[in-house]
Amino acid sequence: MIPELGHFALMLALLVTLVQGVLPLLGAQRNQPQWVALARPATAAAFLLVLFSFLVLTWSFYSNDFSVEYVAQHSNTQLPTLYRISAVWGGHEGSLLLWVLMLTGWAQAVALFSRRLPEAMVARVLGVLGLVTFGLLAFVLLTSSPFERLLPAVEEGRSLNPLLQDPGLVFHPPLLYMGYVGMSVAFAFAIAALLAGQLDAAWARWSRPWTTVAWVFLTLGIALGSWWAYYELGWGGWWFWDPVENASFMPWLVATALIHSLAVTEKRGSFKNWTVLLAIAAFSLSLLGTFLVRSGVLTSVHAFATDPRRGIFILILLAIVVGSSLLLFAARAPKVSLGGRFALLSRETLLLVNNVLLVVACGAVLLGTLYPLLIDALGMGKLSVGPPYFNAVFVPIMLPLLVLVAAGPIARWKHAEIGPILRRLWPAALAAVLAGAGLPLLAGEWHAYVALALALAVWIAAAIVLQTVERFKTGKPTASWWGMQIAHCGLAAFVVGVAMVSTYEEERDVRMSPGETVTVGGHTFKFLGVHDVRGPNYVAARGSFELTKDGKPLRTLYPEKRNYDTSAMPMTEAAIDAGLTRDVYVSLGEPLEGEAWAVRVYFKPFVDWIWGGCLLMSLGGLLAAADRRYRIRVKQSAAATAAAAGATA
Amino acid sequence: MNKFLLPLGIFIVLVALLAVGLNLNPREVPSPLIGKPAPDFSVPRLHAADQSFSPKEMLGKVWLFNVWASWCVSCREEHPLLVEFGKTGTVPIVGLNYKDKREDGQRWLARFGDPYLLSAYDADGRVGINYGVYGVPETYLIDKQGVIRFKQIGPITPEVLQNKIIPLAQELNK
Amino acid sequence: MKKPLALAALLCCLNVAAQEAKPLAEDPVVEQRLVNIATELRCLVCQNESLAGSQADLAKDLRREVRDLIKEGKTDTEVKDFLVSRYGDFVLYRPQVKPQTYLLWAGPFILLLVGIGALVAYLRKRERQVADTPLSEEERQRAEALLKENQS
């Protein structure tokens, strides 16, 4: 009975989102306050209904209700409670329900925190979100209901893929979806502004904190996924250019362009059309990612069990949502004013260059991801596009961006001059050259690639220091200023991590008997032996390795080889000693003759800077989104502007 | 022309591509060996370890080369079809017992029927690699000159047999 | 109490016996080349892992085959050709430059040129337009509204 309640709640939610999607939009267009007033209650009702349905599914997992097919396929009684709950989003149907829950959650958040916005605007934003939710709910109900019954019920469920029985799965999908779905808010603001014919600085200011917060979630979600792959897959890699990774990276690139472009639109009223287009593109790419992951058109390590009906449904949804948005854009964009004037060299121009580079990078990733499909569709055979391609084309596009990151915040709005920029940045340039020449020698052999990367990182960091010193002379900086600098610092740290680990990492594959040692990157592992350990639903062979550096013991590491009761594939659990300047990483391979084991050890210098950099970027985003100016009441002037624009529309 | 229609245009092309892509199977990799001479090899036979088999022996005949193994689940699926087809005598079928234990392979054939003229025994999978085998079962149709004319990846279905293999074999036999 | 003691005794003996573990591969030089080649090749069975990382049976066999080819003194290109002639271009993670892939390899740089071209054209055009256009009706009204507000 309880699962049917969840199903019923979803059907009710479908009706409610239809109301939420149609009436407020019409009301705002025709000036009908009663219809406009429906927006908030309908949003709240949709959110509560979907939340209820989600909790019902969670309860089915918690109570081991194997009469629900989805539960029977993704859980079993031996699964620890934490993973029983995270298994809710361990498969297609449940993760889609999580998607919808977050969509209604974001809409509810907009409804709560938009008291200062004009009612018509709020109604339009919530209406657009309502329509998108309606489409996705229809998708869930028609093709992917998690509440389908399995009759007769089975005694025991099939359990969750052991790869997914990890704290990583508890946090990675929710964070990633928060980011993906959060792009819908920027999208809804953009469509609302286009509908109202009111594309102005006020619109940019309203949607900016939402976009930034969604971007923070997306950054954290991607970084966590990367870290998870690093420690869980046991190969020590952190990014594989897998189609599904690309599907999350493309919206990130466009969202990064968008938060920069929104800055110009808010402060200077320029690039409005471009900003709107980016907002549409960011959400479209989120939907495209959902399509790529769930339709089976591309093979990926992440692929869900596929069903062609689902692919067709999402493709139609994508075509309707994005097609109509772009049509609306084409109709409204020609009338939008150009905004403030600026010179060829100005912060506006530099931010536009940033946007061009990020969008081109996104285009390159899209091209590489879809190219095998294109060639296949044209009947020209099958080919693969993998990491060597992406590294070869992506890095050169990003290099100029790293050069400009230092100069952008220094250039003045409207009109900048090359002289003062150079005068202020020459110490940073000097530091960069010295760093490029010297630092790689400290780490090992000098390579042009790592020298360039370190020089760029120091260039960015030194420019930030210079700006901070100058800024304090003129008064206390704002939170959003700090946010920008910290995020850029994160980028520098990320570059250091990538360059160092890809150049100086060391790897050894050895056969070890107890008592033997292996040394990698100055760290010595001594193998103490393997003993069996019983986990909640697996048996593990746990190795003990004593880690020493220069004869001093550091700690003992316990990598495991797990055999889950429900799976034939043994799982490798690497053991990692993480540190600020290096990780050392050990994983057990196969047992060999006697007490010997195949063992793989890695030395990974600065690898944690990759995720540390992403954390700094996210922290910067949070600070920027928390800036006071988004919380103070919309100035009367903005309201007056809106009224004036409304009068002409 | 309204230049703001450009994004919509790009998007329509993208959707068209994805729609076509939905009907393709990304897991199926076509073989580059079609139209090329079947790679030569010489390995022992499954039922007679002292005798060897080489595709050269089949020159002048149109024949079917079927890669199978006792551990392969989908082989069970296609096997009855092969047994039936073997009875018609349209073309001889040679098996390649791929990465199997000799006894297991023999027992499997004894249990489910043996449609093969003979089975070659590829213990270490080297012959398989030369034929580009990546998912058992796989089946090749080879003509009188020893050229591979058709390859089926995965189990043969009745449709593939009726619509592709049989007509092509009859044509090659003319 | 017994266990820690035994462990301590064990550790003590091990310290004496400590010796460097042997590499898993017979020939680390061959193995290094194998890894270099195999990371650029795609495993066919698991589809989205490289040949170097995959634990599938076929991947192990193919690694063995590649190892043998390296020992025979084949170049990297010859090794890759060996696999391409059997499995097709699908196995290459770095697609060969040929007519089917011209667009793939040139695409990002064409995009970059188009992007920069469009940017320059836009900035030039904008320069002229912003200079020429007087205030639109909407902007005039907005300005008036702002002015009124400041007066009140």
- What residue type is A323 in one-letter code? G
pLDDT digits (tens, 9 = 90+) for C113-124: 999 999 999 888
pLDDT at C9: 44
Residue C50: pLDDT band with limits 50, 70, 90: confident
pLDDT at B48: 87
- pLDDT at B131 exceeding the cut of 50: yes
In whole angstroms, what is the distance from residue A418 CA to residue A590 CA?
61
pLDDT at A304: 58
Residue C15: pLDDT band with limits 50, 70, 90: very low
Residue C14: pLDDT band with limits 50, 70, 90: very low
Do the chains contact at C61 and B134, CB–CB below 8 Å?
no
Counting residues of chain A whose pLDDT is more than 70, the rounded percentage is 95
Dihedral, CA of residue A526, residue A530, residue A531 and residue A534, to nearest 10: 100
- Higher-confidence residue of A31 and C13: namely A31
Considering only CB atoms, which chain C residues are within 8 Å of A515?
A: 13-14, 17-19
Residue C22: pLDDT band with limits 50, 70, 90: confident
Residue A364: pLDDT band with limits 50, 70, 90: very high
Residue A111: pLDDT band with limits 50, 70, 90: very high
pLDDT at C137: 60
Q: Which two tokens stand for residue A255?
A: 């969202």
Counting residues of chain C whose pLDDT is more than 90, the rounded percentage is 28
Phi-psi region of A83 (alpha: psi -120 to 50; beta: other; left: phi over 0): alpha
- Higher-confidence residue of A646 and A212: namely A212
Considering only CB atoms, which chain C residues are within 8 Å of B124?
A: 61
Do the chains contact at B134 and C44, CB–CB below 8 Å?
yes
Task: Tell me, rounded to whole angstroms, the distance of Cα B114 from its chain centroid.
Answer: 17
Domain map of chain C by residue range? Answer: 25-96, 100-151
pLDDT digits (tens, 9 = 90+) for A498-511: 999 999 998 888 99
Q: Is A307 helix (H, G, I), strand (E, B) or coil?
A: coil
In whole angstroms, what is the distance from residue A397 CA to residue A358 CA?
8
Q: Which two tokens stand for residue A608?
A: 């944690």
pTM, rounded to two decimals? 0.91
Say which range, A319-323, A393-397, C24-28, has the weakest mean pLDDT: C24-28
Nearest in space to A36 (alpha carbons), one of A50, A20, A52, A48 = A20
Considering only CB atoms, which chain A residues are within 8 Å of B17?
A: 370, 373-374, 377
- Higher-confidence residue of A329 and A476: namely A329
pLDDT at C125: 84
Q: Which two tokens stand for residue A320?
A: 């309707």
pLDDT at A115: 85
- pLDDT at B1 exceeding the cut of 70: no
A382–B contact, CB cutoff 8 A: yes
CA atoms within 13 A on the CB side of B162: 3
- pLDDT at A40 exceeding the cut of 90: yes
pLDDT at B63: 93
pLDDT at C134: 53
User: Who contacts A289 (Cβ-Cβ below 8 Å, separation ≥6)?
Assistant: A180, A244, A247, A248, A250, A251
Q: Which of residues 34-73 of C touch A (CB under 8 A)?
A: 39-40, 42, 46-50, 53
pLDDT at C2: 40
Q: Which CATH architecture has domain B33-172?
A: 3-Layer(aba) Sandwich (3.40)
The total number of residues written for chain B in this structure: 174
pLDDT digits (tens, 9 = 90+) for A309-349: 888 899 999 999 999 999 999 999 888 877 777 888 889 99
Do the chains contact at B132 and C87, CB–CB below 8 Å?
yes
Considering only CB atoms, which chain B residues are within 8 Å of A373?
A: 17-18, 21, 24, 26
Nearest in space to A488 (alpha carbons), one of A609, A426, A427, A406 = A406
Do the chains contact at B130 and C45, CB–CB below 8 Å?
no
**CA A477, A479, A484 angle in degrees (round to 5)?**
90
C44–B contact, CB cutoff 8 A: yes
Looking at residues B56-84, what average pLDDT do you find? 91
| Residue A21 near residue A42, CB atoms below 8 Å | no
Q: Which two tokens stand for residue A342?
A: 């600026």
- Sign of the CA dihedral with B124 first, then B129, B130, and B134 last: positive
A209–B contact, CB cutoff 8 A: no
pLDDT at B82: 92
pLDDT at A323: 96
pLDDT at A164: 81
Do the chains contact at C145 and A644, CB–CB below 8 Å?
yes
Task: Find the CB nearest B129 among C45, C84, C86.
Answer: C86
User: Who contacts C128 (Cβ-Cβ below 8 Å, separation ≥6)?
Assistant: none
A127 phi and psi angles, rounded to 5 deg? -60, -45
pLDDT digits (tens, 9 = 90+) for A544-573: 999 999 889 999 999 999 988 877 778 888
In whole angstroms, what is the distance from residue A570 CA to residue A592 CA?
15
Looking at residues A391-412, what average pLDDT do you find? 92
Q: Which two tokens stand for residue C11?
A: 């550790």
Considering only CB atoms, which chain B residues are within 8 Å of C88?
A: 29-32, 132
Nearest in space to A505 (alpha carbons), one of A181, A216, A230, A160 = A230
Nearest in space to A290 (alpha carbons), one of A325, A314, A320, A324 = A314
- Higher-confidence residue of A250 and A90: namely A250
pLDDT digits (tens, 9 = 90+) for A582-618: 999 999 988 888 889 999 999 999 999 999 999 999 9
Spell out the alpha helix ranges (H) of C40-101.
Answer: 57-71, 76-87
pLDDT at A222: 95
Mean predicted lDDT score pLDDT of chain B: 89
Mean predicted lDDT score pLDDT of chain A: 89
Gyration radius of chain A's alpha carbons: 26
Nearest in space to A59 (alpha carbons), one of A69, A76, A71 = A71
- pLDDT at A421 exceeding the cut of 90: no
pLDDT digits (tens, 9 = 90+) for B76-89: 989 999 999 988 88
| Residue A352 near residue A271, CB atoms below 8 Å | yes
Task: Tell me, rounded to whole angstroms, the distance of Cα A554 from its chain centroid.
Answer: 35
CATH code: domain C25-96 is: 1.10.8.640
pLDDT digits (tens, 9 = 90+) for A343-360: 888 899 999 999 999 999
A535–B contact, CB cutoff 8 A: no
Looking at residues A11-33, what average pLDDT do you find? 94
Neighbouring-strand partners of residue A548: A524, A553
A640–B contact, CB cutoff 8 A: no
Burial class (CB in 10 A: 0-12, 13-18, 19+), A336: middle
DSSP at C92? B
Q: Is A336 helix (H, G, I), strand (E, B) or coil?
A: coil
Nearest in space to A398 (alpha carbons), one of A224, A256, A226 = A256
Q: Which of residues 238-277 of A touch C (CB under 8 A)?
A: 240, 242-243
- pLDDT at C51 exceeding the cut of 60: yes
| In the block, residue with structure tokens 């103490």 | A528
The residue among A384, A531, A597 with the most chain C CBs within 10 A of its CB, best to mutate, is A384
Do the chains contact at B32 and C47, CB–CB below 8 Å?
no
Task: Find the CB nearest C108 among A364, A515, A589.
Answer: A364
CA distance A48 to chain B (A): 34
Counting residues of chain A whose pLDDT is more than 90, the rounded percentage is 61
Residue C13: pLDDT band with limits 50, 70, 90: very low
Reported ipTM: the value is 0.87
| Residue A38 near residue A19, CB atoms below 8 Å | yes
pLDDT at C35: 87
CA atoms within 13 A on the CB side of A361: 26
Do the chains contact at B30 and C62, CB–CB below 8 Å?
no
A642 to chain C: closest CA residue: C142
pLDDT at C27: 82
Task: Find the CB nearest C18 among A243, A515, A644.
Answer: A515
Say which range, A54-58, A145-149, A541-545, B24-28, has the weakest mean pLDDT: B24-28
Which of A229-243, A491-505, C7-21 reaches the highest mean pLDDT? A491-505
pLDDT at C16: 44
Number of Cβ pairs < 8 A linking chain A and chain B: 67
Task: Find the CB nearest C130 among A341, A392, A509.
Answer: A341
Do the chains contact at B8 and A297, CB–CB below 8 Å?
no
In whole angstroms, what is the distance from residue C32 CA to residue A508 CA?
10
Domain map of chain B by residue range? Answer: 33-172
The residue among A244, A309, A332, A376 with the most chain B CBs within 10 A of its CB, best to mutate, is A376
Residue B110: pLDDT band with limits 50, 70, 90: very high
In whole angstroms, what is the distance from residue A492 CA to residue A610 CA?
10
Neighbouring-strand partners of residue A510: A599, C23
Q: Is B121 helix (H, G, I), strand (E, B) or coil?
A: strand
